């Protein structure tokens, strides 16, 4: 196991009380695994991604353990975490288009950043240039300012920069959301090639777009209202989902080659519960077509067959 997360709880501090955005998640990511993390807005997927890299000032660590390569990550300690960031765990953020300092040439900013992490910048230059070639950026982007690059170029530059120190774990947070479909595909394939080249050992790809995950992910984890609903190999999630939420989520996606003129795509009725004071038991209960008395108890996240986990009384 490259990454092992155990019972991680992270809340948001607000004036109205704690928002339980991440409420006890346990999962592992194997060496070389690309894990897709899907779910609707506000389900806690970005919170999970951020808490593995850097806590937002409003985020509050409650409990849980994160182990990467057998070492515990001190995620609650911003200063101690600095040793691991970039070198062991890195992120391609949601805002990759505006992640580069507008008043520094990209090459200089890269050099200053790497030097600040105690690595002589000239030692990474050959590798940096090799990787720019790989993602199809000309080497002279290093001599340009971010404003001189297109959105897609900036995105690729950030991907190269984030992974230049070969981290064990890369978190890619909604990196395809702002792109058109053809660019999405290119970026998704780039992520796979980064793994295949060994630039990153394993990856968590956060997105609300399940179809992208179908193309690149080895496993898909579905989150709902701050908890994990289901984790399984991509094929199982797409073709044989077990959790009722996953089933509804997959069935609401259009299928290639099927015309939807005669029937409407099914959505999921209702909306997720507020996480400020979530209901006890299964959080999907109110929207679930198969809910029963038993669902007032919280279902455990258990392995129902090899490599397939789900949190539902009906499938256990």
Task: Give the interface with another protein as residue ranges (CB under 8 A).
Answer: 53-54, 81-87, 90-91, 93, 95, 98-105, 112-113, 116-117, 145, 147-150, 158, 161-162
What SS3 class is residue 59? strand
At closest approach, how far in Å is the CB of 217 from another protein?
Answer: 22
Question: Which residue's entry shows tokens 């279902």?
Answer: 299
At closest approach, how far in Å is the CB of 66 from another protein?
Answer: 16
- Measured CA distances, 266 to 13, 48, 220, 269 (Å): 36, 28, 21, 9
* Alpha helix stretches (DSSP H) within 240-300: 244-251
Which distant-in-sequence residues (6+ apart) come within 8 Å of 209 by Cβ? 38, 176, 177, 184
Query: Which residue number, 94 or 215, has a Cβ lying nearer to another protein?
Result: 94
Query: Which residue number, 35 or 161, has a Cβ lying nearer to another protein?
Result: 161
At closest approach, how far in Å is the CB of 138 from another protein?
Answer: 15
At closest approach, how far in Å is the CB of 90 from another protein?
Answer: 7
At closest approach, how far in Å is the CB of 117 from another protein?
Answer: 6
Query: Which residue number, 79 or 261, has a Cβ lying nearer to another protein?
Result: 79
Which distant-in-sequence residues (6+ apart) come within 8 Å of 65 by Cβ? 4, 5, 6, 7, 8, 72
Query: Which residue number, 79 or 266, has a Cβ lying nearer to another protein?
Result: 79
Do residues 43 and 272 touch, judged by C-beta distance below 8 A?
yes
Query: Which residue number, 145 or 214, has a Cβ lying nearer to another protein?
Result: 145
At closest approach, how far in Å is the CB of 204 from another protein?
Answer: 14
Determine the Cα–Cα distance for residues 224 and 42; give it in Å rounded to an integer.
9
Determine the Cα–Cα distance for residues 8 and 227; give it in Å rounded to an integer.
10
Query: Which residue number, 86 or 194, has a Cβ lying nearer to another protein?
Result: 86
């Amino acid at each position: 196991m490259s990454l092992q997360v155990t019972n991680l709880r992270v809340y948001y501090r607000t004036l109205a009380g704690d928002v339980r955005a991440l409420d006890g998640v346990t999962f592992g990511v194997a060496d070389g695994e690309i894990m897709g993390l899907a779910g609707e807005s506000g389900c806690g997927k970005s919170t999970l991604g951020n808490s593995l890299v850097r806590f937002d000032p409003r985020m509050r660590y409650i409990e849980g353990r994160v182990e990467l390569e057998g070492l515990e990550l001190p995620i609650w300690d911003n200063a101690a975490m600095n040793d691991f960031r970039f070198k062991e765990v890195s992120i391609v953020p949601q805002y990759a288009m505006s992640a580069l300092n507008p008043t520094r040439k990209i090459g200089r900013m890269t050099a200053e950043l790497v030097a600040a992490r105690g690595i002589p910048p000239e030692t990474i230059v050959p590798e940096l240039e090799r990787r720019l070639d790989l993602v199809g950026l000309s080497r002279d982007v290093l001599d340009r300012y971010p404003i001189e690059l297109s959105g897609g170029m900036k995105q690729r530059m950030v991907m190269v920069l984030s992974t230049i120190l070969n981290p064990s774990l890369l978190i890619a947070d909604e990196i395809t959301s702002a792109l058109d479909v053809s660019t999405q595909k290119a970026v998704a394939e780039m992520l796979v090639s980064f793994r295949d080249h060994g630039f990153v050992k394993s990856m968590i790809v956060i997105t609300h777009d399940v179809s992208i995950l179908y193309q690149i992910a080895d496993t898909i984890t579905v989150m709902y209202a701050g908890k994990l609903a289901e984790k399984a190999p991509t094929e199982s999630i797409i073709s044989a989902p077990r959790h009722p939420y996953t089933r509804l989520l997959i069935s609401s996606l259009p299928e290639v080659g099927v015309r939807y003129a005669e029937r409407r795509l099914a959505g999921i009725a209702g909306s997720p519960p507020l996480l400020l004071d979530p209901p006890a038991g299964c959080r999907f209960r109110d929207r679930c077509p198969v809910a029963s008395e038993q669902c007032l108890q919280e279902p455990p996240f258990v392995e129902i067959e090899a490599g397939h986990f789900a949190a539902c009384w009906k499938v256990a």
